[in-house]
Amino acid sequence: MSALRPLLAGAALGLGVAAVSEPCPQPAGPAEAAAAAGMPTRRRLEFLAGRRAARRALRAVGLDCGEIPRRGRLPVFPPGRAASISHSAGIAVAVARVPGRDLPLGCDLELRPLPREAARLVLRADEESLLGDEETPPGAAWSVTELFSAKEAAWKALDAPEGAGGRAAGLRAASLRDLRACPSGDGALVVGPRADPGLTVRVRVVRVGPGVFSYAVGPAGARG
């Protein structure tokens, strides 16, 4: 994951990584402690690792941050700070936006590959060609894991609270199948809700070991 830092820096993002196995994980304040108190042990460790990753991502863009409470399932950051958190296989990762950049922000880490049979949970018929077939040239198709991860990152970016670069009120999607993914032509994907084709983000997918890491780089016209 650390090898992704220069790539993310080019997109004006900071990276933070934390492991659930780090010794003595402690909440950063009473709000985090209250949120974690009723969680099963595994979920509690993931929750705290995610908060550590977010603080590290924010520090990577020059911002300090204390505890990160939540509203529902969403993290709540102090004014002027924004980050997106993801967990997979005992690893938490977060990306944070540099100050002054009010752009959609979302990331997703998937370290356990999904089988092709899971495509029905992610794609609709008009997207199945993205998976390719036996005649598709190498590198021209997308895996189910890549498409799942890209849609997860886009969902977070589009469903962010008002003022955090997203449009929660405008995201009309009940599942990932309600988001449509299209190749952008330069190795990234453009993802947005089928009910609102004008609301799209550009997502880059990077392979990480057996899995993938996806992050939104801004509106569909952005580059990164």
The mean pLDDT of 19-39, rounded to a whole number, is 93
Phi-psi region of 163 (alpha: psi -120 to 50; beta: other; left: phi over 0): left
Residue 169 has a pLDDT of 44
Q: Rounded to an integer, what distance in angstroms lies between the CA atom of residue 109 and that of residue 211?
A: 8
pLDDT one-digit tens code per residue, 135-154: 677 667 899 999 999 999 99
End-to-end CA distance of the chain: 18
pTM, two decimal places: 0.90
Instruction: Note the pLDDT of residue 163.
Output: 42
pLDDT (0 to 100) of residue 221: 54
Reduced to 3 states (helix: H, G, I; strand: E, B; else coil), residue 170 is helix
Query: Of the ranges 93-102, 130-139, 196-205, which one carries the lowest mean pLDDT score?
Result: 130-139
- Mean pLDDT for 203-207 is 95
- What's the Cα-to-Cα distance from 186 to each of 91, 140, 190, 221, 223, rounded to whole Å? 29, 11, 11, 12, 10
Whether the predicted pLDDT of 108 surpasses 90:
yes
Look at residue 164 and tell me whether its pLDDT is greater than 50: no
Mean pLDDT across 121-127: 96
Question: What pLDDT is recorded for position 201?
Answer: 93
Q: Which residue would you say has higher pLDDT here, 125 or 135?
A: 125
**Number of other residues whose CB lies within 10 A of the CB of residue 219:** 16
Confidence at residue 171, expressed as pLDDT on a 0 to 100 scale? 65
What's the pLDDT score for residue 104? 85
CB 96 within 8 A of CB 54: yes
Residue 21: both structure tokens together: 């196995």
Would the pLDDT of 193 be above 90?
yes
Ordered by where they begin, the domains of the chain are 1-101 (3.90.470.20), 112-224 (no CATH)
Predicted pLDDT at 174: 87
